[in-house]
Amino acid sequence: MATVTFDKATRIYPGTERPAVDSLDLHIEDGEFLVLVGPSGCGKSTSLRMLAGLEDVNSGRILIGDREVTDVQPKDRDIAMVFQNYALYPHMTVADNMGFALKIAGVPKADIRKRVEETAKMLDLTEYLDRRPKALSGGQRQRVAMGRAIVRQPQVFLMDEPLSNLDAKLRVQTRSQIASLTRRLGVTTVYVTHDQTEAMTMGDRIAVLKDGILQQVGDPRDLYDRPNNVFVAGFIGSPAMNIGSFQVVEGGAQLANTRIPLAREVLSKIVPEDRGHVTVGFRPEALDVVSQATEGAIPIKVVLVEELGADALAYGELVMGGAAAREIHSGAGEAQIIVRVDPRTPPRKGDTIWVAIRHGELHAFAASTGERLN
């Protein structure tokens, strides 16, 4: 087992000026499960491929343990990779697919069989060892791909969106299997996904990338409770945070006909570049439905209610919000606010509800830079 270190690692593809990955500084502990997450094109798969040796590093370096591997061939890095498309040999049985890398490495047949059988038992694949991939379901094929990586007993597992081809139910089941299995094996794992729900449920720590630049790294609760900037705040959390830029008035921010109080430390950090505005964020679950007479109550006209059984979400627009109503956005799109409501007594479409931001659960960011203020 080993640590992994990206030391100002940069990748610039030929014919482009902007780096796909820009000076990535990231240290992954021995045995840690780290998730690289971000939107398409943010550099997460490129980072993984740099670690695997499939992409050149234009500057900086990469270490596995104390050994620099920046210029080492992929086969000599002692890593195993699991891909999105399984990449199984269709003419081979499950057992042969899992043991193929060991066969190429010259491992004795008896040792290969032993390691394949042990891994198959771990992955509930024992009864499928003599089948070919076409006779397996998508989830079983993905477990075979996992097994092929596990039998090699590498220092580092690399996983590039391995659940993307699975249906929703199987994805939930398989992600819990992967998370528990890698922790049991104690192998350092770098996992790439664009799905922040996967990131939150699987990772010991999460690294958020945007445009090739590392935005924040921390455990799931850190990123949820204290996002460093507007991008992380809007990306982490399902449903997404409600975020808007509002005018600063005496002691707070003007949201529709309501003044949202802001702490003195926030107001003191507002600079001329912010042009008298502050970006405010609040999560759907940080809003309480209150009476109209409550101080700081925000009126919202409900346009859609999603009833999810144990949960319910109301989507709405600011009443009499004017320009402020158009500024706010959430996972539902522009000019909409999401509120988590009581599933037993949800509002109806067309109703007006009043909500208040729970004390201590408001996030404030600089309007000019998007950086966190509180």
Please determine, for residue 325, whether its predicted confidence score (pLDDT) is greater than 80. Answer: no
Q: Read off the pLDDT of residues 184-211 as tens digits, 9 standing for 90 and up.
A: 889 999 999 998 889 999 999 999 999 9
**Measured distance CA(346)–CA(289) in Å, rounded:** 10
Please determine, for residue 332, whether its predicted confidence score (pLDDT) is greater than 60. Answer: no
Average pLDDT rounded to a whole number, residues 52-63: 96
Per-residue pLDDT at 254:
87
Per-residue pLDDT at 65:
94
* Cis-peptide, bond into residue 239, ω within 30° of zero: yes
* Dihedral pair phi/psi, residue 321, rounded to 5°: -80, -20
**Measured distance CA(329)–CA(87) in Å, rounded:** 40
Per-residue pLDDT at 284:
95
Residue 89: DSSP 8-state? -
Per-residue pLDDT at 321:
62
Helix ranges (H only) for the chain are 44-52, 94-104, 109-122, 138-150, 168-185, 196-202, 220-225, 230-235, 264-268, 323-327
Please determine, for residue 294, whether its predicted confidence score (pLDDT) is greater than 90. Answer: no
**Rg for the chain (alpha carbons), in Å?**
24
* Dihedral pair phi/psi, residue 304, rounded to 5°: -160, 140
Q: Worst-scoring range by mean pLDDT, 246-250, 291-295, 331-335?
A: 331-335
**Measured distance CA(104)–CA(101) in Å, rounded:** 5
| Nearest Cα to Cα of residue 234 among 326, 339, 333, 331 | 331
Contact in structure between 102 and 150 (CB atoms under 8 Å): no
Provide the mean pLDDT of the chain. 91
Per-residue pLDDT at 366:
94
Contact in structure between 129 and 116 (CB atoms under 8 Å): yes
Query: Domains plus CATH for the chain?
Result: 4-233 (3.40.50.300), 239-366 (2.40.50.140)
Please determine, for residue 362, whether its predicted confidence score (pLDDT) is greater than 60. Answer: yes
Per-residue pLDDT at 179:
86
Average pLDDT rounded to a whole number, residues 286-306: 91
**Measured distance CA(314)–CA(348) in Å, rounded:** 9
pLDDT category of residue 144 using cuts at 50, 70 and 90 = very high
Contact in structure between 337 and 282 (CB atoms under 8 Å): no
192: CB partners within 8 A, 6+ apart: 35, 36, 37, 44, 45, 47, 48, 159, 160, 161
Q: Read off the pLDDT of residues 152-173 as tens digits, 9 standing for 90 and up.
A: 889 999 999 988 877 888 888 8
Please determine, for residue 274, whether its predicted confidence score (pLDDT) is greater than 70. Answer: yes
Q: Read off the pLDDT of residues 221-245 as tens digits, 9 standing for 90 and up.
A: 999 999 999 999 999 998 889 998 8
Per-residue pLDDT at 326:
63
Average pLDDT rounded to a whole number, residues 43-66: 96
CB burial string 139-170: b at 16+ within 10 A, e below: bbbbbbbbbbbbbbebbbbbbbbbbeebeeeb
Per-residue pLDDT at 301:
93
Average pLDDT rounded to a whole number, residues 119-131: 91
Q: Worst-scoring range by mean pLDDT, 95-99, 124-128, 167-171?
A: 167-171
Containing 286, the helix (H) or strand (E) segment is none
pLDDT category of residue 251 using cuts at 50, 70 and 90 = confident
